[in-house]
Amino acid sequence: MADRTHAPQPGMDEDVLVRVRGLQVHFGPRKRPVRAVDGVDLEIRRGETLGLVGESGCGKSTLGNALLRLVEPTAGTVELDGTELTALRRRQMRAVRRRAVMVFQDPYASLDPRRTVGDAVAEPLLVHRLHGGAASRRRRVTELLELVGLPASALEKYPHEFSGGQRQRLGIARALAGEPDLVVADEAVASLDVSIQAQVMNLLRGLQRDLGLTLLFISHDLAAVRHVSDRIAVMYLGRVVEVGPAHEVTSDPQHPYTRALLSAVPRPDPVAERTRTAVVLSGDVPSPTDVPSGCRFRTRCPEVFEACPEVDPALIDVGPGHRAACLLHASGVSPSRS
């Protein structure tokens, strides 16, 4: 669990760096679109790590891209520090891209194999006209490499000369070059060996704490998300179905989908692992072109009610700073099972 002494206090509106309201990202024909993101409300507070978790295809990477307008939203709003990003023109977005950056899953694909590491990490400095002279840029790149645990000698090398974990460190150094406020890490450890994953996650935790970064950590791996996050948002079929403090979400999940995800996470205690019972969800994730009526999780839910096909539950308070979108917590709904 991340050290929470640096995290903003819940309910302090001025501490919200990113505010998302009614965000939709649909692809394809209007009559039958792919509803990749389908009505998301979300806040990310300054100086915190928000983990975004869900199965492959749930829309979490699309959501991360939409926050930076790497894909254009179909509807809704995204605010960064009070500035509405969806209203900005392309030229105005250039300044935003210094403040909000992405760390990608495949570090090799994000680095030009024909350019030295020094040139690749220095590119944002040139784009944003920072550290004007060549000597100043070189000093800054050296600082960035040291910040992510790489020697200054890496400057003259090429990406293929580094391991996967080292290349991800280079990607992080490049992302930090413009001194951003928000870092979106999209499956940043998914392609790495387990032991290297832990090193990179610890690096991200340390940088977030020491630099005061705000981090959106996107992963399908709930164990990884739990390790780095202050708060966790759980996403299913284009919607956030639960969000709250990391400890609360992982120790007392309030949505059946979150419970199923947690039941699949191996436990380090051998005794607890032997008694762990995984929740097996029936069926496959529905197509985002044919979202079920009512609660979109009802076709797989072990807790389904008679009202679930009719009622699309909103996120409601289930504890301090903890919200879930499930009729288990809704008042005025018949509790009878279907």
Return d(Cα 57, Cα 152) in angstroms, integer.
Answer: 39
**More confident: 280 or 197:** 197
The domain locations on the chain are 15-329
Whole-structure pTM value: 0.90
In the block, residue with structure tokens 């020491």: 210
140-152 confidence digits (pLDDT tens): 999 999 999 999 9
57-112 confidence digits (pLDDT tens): 999 999 999 999 999 999 999 999 999 999 999 888 988 888 999 998 887 777 88
**More confident: 113 or 246:** 246
CATH for 15-329, options being 3.30.200.20, 3.40.50.300, 3.40.640.10, 3.40.50.1220: 3.40.50.300
pLDDT grade, residue 273 (50/70/90)?
A: low
Q: Which of 203, 105, 121 is nearest to 159 (CA)?
A: 121
pLDDT grade, residue 4 (50/70/90)?
A: very low
Burial state string for 299-324 with b = 16 or more CB within 10 A and e = fewer than 16: bbbeebbebbeebbbebeebeeebbb
**More confident: 63 or 192:** 63
CA atoms 143, 147, 148, 153: torsion sign: positive
